[in-house]
Structure 1
């Protein structure tokens, strides 16, 4: 029977078994049906599995397709995409002989590539750190952030996830505004962002699939996941605002160790509410720590850019991170008659 190569990458960490595991499947030489990709994804049973294929557009280096274990295909830009590009760079599957930019001061070389994802062509920035062998970071721009509905009953939401009403929301010190649960997105995937008042409450939250489904439906029929977050002291270089977060989705078997598709929208949410500030160039930075409750230690760097356009503001969000390879091998291609 035919088989194809795969690699397991722990994303958003340089320490094996501490990042968010992603199955990366090399499907360049095998034409897979949707059912075969879904079966392979279910076999890995990780939060997401991504296949890289030949592009259908000459403008892209690769076409990427990403699936959840329940068979749902997603086109959000998070660890599922960033991890693939880190693997492509580390495995020498990218042309890295002519960088678009070189910075001798910090020993970096920057390369710009394009990916085909969800019918769109999107840029990807890969940085090689020349002073450290095989050290790469990847920066991927998400779609323009969008704000959607706020939750109609924060107290009911709190009770549904094992918290008290006082545990939901916190006040912005600079402006006195209280943050409330709101749905945000930077793709077709929408998440309910829930500010939590303390680290103790964040750790105490208990989310069950049925109640989670009910709460998501109450606020937005398209909402996919619940993202709890709270501020913590910053240990990041430059003192960037830092938050600890937890993510739950009915489509995942457990708590997600790192969720780039939620961390990106979080930066726009915090900017809208006056928590995240930008400098004179319109640039801001956010650090999200996630996965500590499930034995992981993921760190997501989020870059926020704000520029003036047409009398308003355009907000742009970049995810930045790397990974570490923990396994590789070959997986059997399911028979064409096998059903999902």
Structure 2
């Protein structure tokens, strides 16, 4: 029998409601079956929903199960930030200096970073250049010349992203991908901005170095994610490691969808990469589950 459970809907990678990537957070997932979690996630019609549970691993402050339409994910970035925001807002207190989240990939650290939260990027499961056949296929699916893909790499950190860098942010924003060609692939596209200022920037601290877009298999063919933490984490590890990006930058994502997502990236003195962003609660109440 359903019961009322605390629930929040959080907009992530934005401090302004309805300009980021929304996330449904069921604050008490105890007793729910995997099938019930998946059914509710599909019903929300959002890119992800999460369910908070007591931790099972030593050192973890809470456990989260992350679902997207059709499947459970071992890790995802915007659900990590949004779930932590909701947990802290509901009175959660970390055991140590960092919040420690337990999820499918293991333990993920989060820290408060000014008015934002940031997570430590999990290790890449696979890196290195893509096969040339994949690059040619991606170029055809994106509708660009093969020569327009300047760099490419596996960006697999749970989600099996294939990352490509185009010549410019303008080229990234102009993409009209072919769903038939790219069917079944998770594609992350990044392009450098030629100028510091960006459309929709509210102040100098919002200046963006890159434009990012994320395409993945959806319920009705190819879908686009408004703002993607896992992809930006993997892109940062690749781009910074390859000398294609500075150790600290801001990426813009969601522009093509009318959003204004901002992803704050930094590599610390130990070499750890942190992915940060603001979150804001838009819905706060209960849900019958």
Range of TM-score over shorter length: 0.7 to 0.9
Map 1:80-159 → 2, pairs under 5 A: 80-91=79-90, 93-95=91-93, 111-118=97-104, 120-127=106-113, 136-145=115-124, 146-153=126-133, 154-159=135-140
1:234 aligns with 2:196: yes
Note closer, same or farther for the CA distance 1:198–1:120 as it changes in structure 2 (3 Å cut): closer
Contiguous gaps of at least 5 residues in structure 2: 198-202
Contiguous gaps of at least 5 residues in structure 1: 101-110, 130-135, 170-178, 217-224, 278-283, 308-314, 334-340
> Which residue in 1 is equivalent to 2:244?
275
Q: How far apart are 1:19 and its partner, in Å? A: 0.7
For residues 218-247 of structure 1, the C-alpha deviation after alignment (integer angstroms, 9 at most, x for no partner) is xxxxxxx10111001235868987100110
SS at match of 1:255: strand
Measured in 2, the distance between the counterparts of 1:238 and 1:205 equals 27
Measured in 1, the distance between the counterparts of 2:286 and 2:205 equals 43
> Which residue in 2 is equivalent to 1:291?
254
Q: How far apart are 1:115 and its partner, in Å? A: 1.7
Q: How far apart are 1:35 and its partner, in Å? A: 0.3
For residues 133-156 of structure 1, the C-alpha deviation after alignment (integer angstroms, 9 at most, x for no partner) is xxx421211222341441414344
Q: How far apart are 1:292 and its partner, in Å? A: 0.7
Map 1:1-340 → 2, pairs under 5 A: 1-28=2-29, 30-70=30-70, 72-91=71-90, 93-95=91-93, 111-118=97-104, 120-127=106-113, 136-145=115-124, 146-153=126-133, 154-169=135-150, 179=151, 181-185=152-156, 187-213=157-183, 216=185, 225-232=186-193, 233-235=195-197, 242-251=209-218, 254-277=223-246, 284-305=247-268, 307=270, 315-333=271-289
Q: How far apart are 1:317 and its partner, in Å? A: 1.6
SS at match of 2:189: strand
Aligned length: 278
Q: How far apart are 1:124 and its partner, in Å? A: 2.0
SS at match of 2:46: coil
State TM-score, norm by structure 2: 0.86
SS at match of 1:200: helix
State TM-score, norm by structure 1: 0.74
For residues 177-215 of structure 1, the C-alpha deviation after alignment (integer angstroms, 9 at most, x for no partner) is xx2x22123x2322111111123321221224332136x
Q: How far apart are 1:285 and its partner, in Å? A: 0.9
Q: CA RMSD in A?
A: 2.5
Q: How far apart are 1:7 and its partner, in Å? A: 1.1
